Amino acid sequence: MAKTAILLDIDFEDSEFRKPYDALKDAGHDVLVIGREKGARVDGKKGTESYTIEAGPDAANAADFDAVVVPGGYAPDKLRTDADLVGFVRDMAAAGKPVAAICHAGWVLAEADVVRGRQVTSVRNIRTDLVNAGADWVDEEVVEDGPLITSRTPADLPAFNDAILKRLG
């Protein structure tokens, strides 16, 4: 089965972490939650989810993973400040491995400079950021372009999860 990293930090969107995490685990995939600080306890912005970061940026090596998922919320604004995690996303995309981002997670994709010339979607309020980073932004439930899988909001999670699982086989 595939080994997938989920990037997480404080104030993540609760369902955008939990639902992909559970879908991946239920399908038999290995999941490692990586954040800026191993052992840090991070809470979702809605207060329904909490998680202890299993590994720090030193574990973010594209050769060791088959996919990466970045939940939204406010966490991506923090994650995009970590050069190692941004580099990991860039390396995953360059290797053609699935890079799945939902909602505000497009910020991490923009920072990694992997959206230029690609069609993506996100929550509407970061549309301009993605367009300024060179993306062709569209308002669709799920968009797949090259290694990127993007969705807009928690309402899109079923399609987002299906796209990830299909890509992983």
Mean pLDDT, consecutive 10-residue stretches, the chain (169 aa), reads 98 98 98 98 97 98 98 98 98 98 98 98 98 98 98 98 97
CA separation for the pair 160, 31 (Å, rounded):
17
Complete DSSP assignment for 146-166? TTEEEE-SGGGHHHHHHHHHH
Q: How many domains does the chain have?
A: 1
- Catalytic (active-site) positions: 103
Q: What is the CATH number of the domain that holds 62?
A: 3.40.50.880
Q: Please report the pLDDT score of residue 152 as a whole number.
A: 98
**Domain containing residue 118:** 3-168
Give the pTM: 0.98
**pLDDT value of residue 9:** 98
Question: Token digits for 134?
Answer: 């060179």
Return the pLDDT at 121.
98
